[in-house]
Amino acid sequence: MNLKGRSFLTLKDYQPEEIEYLLELAAVLKAKKKQGITGNSLKGKNIALIFEKPSTRTRCAFTIGCIDEGGHPEYLGKDDIQLGHKECIEDTARVLGRMFDGIEFRGFKQETVEKLAEYSKVPVWNGLTDMYHPTQILADMLTLKEQFGDLRGLKLIYAGDGRNNMANSLMIGSAKLGLHFTILAPKALWPEGELVKLCQTYNEKSQGTVTITENINAVEGADAIYTDVWCSMGEEELAAERISILEPYQVNESMVKQTGKNNTVLLHCLPAVKGNEITEDVFERHADVIFDQAENRMHTIKAVMVATLGN
């Protein structure tokens, strides 16, 4: 499958078979990495890593993935370049596109990463925006494949803030790949209706489903429960309000038992605020899978770079 020259801004832009190809490639690259085998598909490629928001997993994954494949990553923090400050995004994009072969962006506005892709004329990869987090979803889906073998038909529950970038992106990815996906959240934090309708159109092809509910009983029969921090980066002033309305949706022993299954896995994109969205005992009991998920950021991000830019 030829994805050369493509940007990776949201999973909405990718067909199910293209997403599946990236997961298959990531699994191959992961197996090679475990054997000590690295590649050279990015040899001679220079990659800009733009971070308006700091990160552990995204930065390390892009850096190591790039180096493993022979490329050169250049970290550009919010104080290192004039992106949208003394220089408009369009002009910065045109400069970077003349000097770099690919660009990763992690920041606030989806509009920014879209402008970078439009004006740089090189592949641009979304490391996180306020709307979407597509590279994380690839890691999540690879982890579920490792646990269950097949994604189609899995029942995945997302408990927490149902209108943040993770809920949005999980809904898109699940709908494309045929999972039965449920957002379990208070009505005040439900996703936009237009995105739900779009995902329902994806489900017509994939045979998946999307459910949005306040009812905790929705966890019954869940193969996997996913949660995320209750306040995203930049929303810290909302912490007290979020805790008060999201407390009933905490992933705890009671919720896990309510699944009625003994092989339900828990996922968390990290960092975790233990005691808020998930209790420490439940987190630690499922830590092996959660940190497989964290490691898989590297393998899936490497796959995206190799597929869209590699030789």
Q: Nearest-CA neighbor of 267 among 293, 299, 230, 233?
A: 293
Asked if the structure places residue 5 within a domain, the reply is no
Sign of the dihedral defined by the CA atoms of residues 10, 14, 16, 17, in that order = negative
Q: What is the pLDDT of residue 82?
A: 82
Q: Does 55 belong to an annotated binding site?
A: yes
Q: What is the pLDDT of residue 232?
A: 73
What is the rounded CA–CA span in Å between residue 35 and residue 141? 22
Q: Does 58 belong to an annotated binding site?
A: yes
Q: How do residues 56-88 score in pLDDT, each as one tens digit?
A: 999 999 999 999 999 999 999 988 998 878 899
Question: Which residue range(s) make up the domain with 176?
Answer: 136-294
Q: Nearest-CA neighbor of 164 among 249, 85, 291?
A: 249
**Cβ–Cβ under 8 Å, residues 149 and 215:** no
For residues 140 and 74, membership in a common domain is answered with no
The predicted model scores a pTM of: 0.97
For residues 163 and 253, membership in a common domain is answered with yes
Asked if the structure places residue 67 within a domain, the reply is yes
Asked if the structure places residue 3 within a domain, the reply is no
For residues 24 and 151, membership in a common domain is answered with no
pLDDT band at 233 (very low <50, low <70, confident <90, very high): low
**Cβ–Cβ under 8 Å, residues 53 and 107:** yes
Q: Does 56 belong to an annotated binding site?
A: yes
Q: What is the pLDDT of residue 239?
A: 80
For residues 77 and 217, membership in a common domain is answered with no
Using alpha carbons, list the distances in angstroms from residue 283 to 112, 113, 259. Answer: 34, 33, 16
Q: Does 106 belong to an annotated binding site?
A: yes
Over the chain, what is the mean pLDDT? 97
What is the rounded CA–CA span in Å between residue 283 and residue 262? 15
pLDDT band at 199 (very low <50, low <70, confident <90, very high): very high
Q: Does 296 belong to an annotated binding site?
A: no
For residues 259 and 177, membership in a common domain is answered with yes
Q: Does 82 belong to an annotated binding site?
A: yes
What mean pLDDT comes out for the span 183-209? 98
Least confident of 27-41, 227-241, 242-256, 281-295: 227-241
Q: How do residues 10-27 score in pLDDT, each as one tens digit?
A: 999 999 999 999 999 999
| Percent of the residues in the chain that have a pLDDT greater than 90, as a whole number | 94
What mean pLDDT comes out for the span 172-187? 98
Q: What is the pLDDT of residue 306?
A: 98
Q: Two tokens at 273?
A: 């605020």
Q: What is the pLDDT of residue 238?
A: 75
Asked if the structure places residue 2 within a domain, the reply is no
Q: How do residues 87-141 score in pLDDT, each as one tens digit?
A: 999 999 999 999 999 999 999 999 999 999 999 999 999 999 999 999 999 999 9
For residues 18 and 115, membership in a common domain is answered with yes
Asked if the structure places residue 229 within a domain, the reply is yes
For residues 179 and 270, membership in a common domain is answered with yes
Q: Does 135 belong to an annotated binding site?
A: yes
For residues 173 and 233, membership in a common domain is answered with yes
| Percent of the residues in the chain that have a pLDDT greater than 70, as a whole number | 99
Q: Does 270 belong to an annotated binding site?
A: yes
For residues 104 and 240, membership in a common domain is answered with no
For residues 17 and 121, membership in a common domain is answered with yes
What mean pLDDT comes out for the span 28-51? 98
Q: Does 165 belong to an annotated binding site?
A: yes
The enclosing domain of 59 has a CATH number of 3.40.50.1370
For residues 250 and 227, membership in a common domain is answered with yes
**Cβ–Cβ under 8 Å, residues 282 and 256:** yes
Q: Nearest-CA neighbor of 134 among 125, 143, 142?
A: 125
Asked if the structure places residue 6 within a domain, the reply is no
Catalytic residue numbers read 106, 133, 136, 228, 269, 297
HSE at residue 139, side-chain half, CA atoms within 13 A, is 28
Q: How many domains does the chain have?
A: 2
Asked if the structure places residue 76 within a domain, the reply is yes
Asked if the structure places residue 215 within a domain, the reply is yes
For residues 176 and 57, membership in a common domain is answered with no
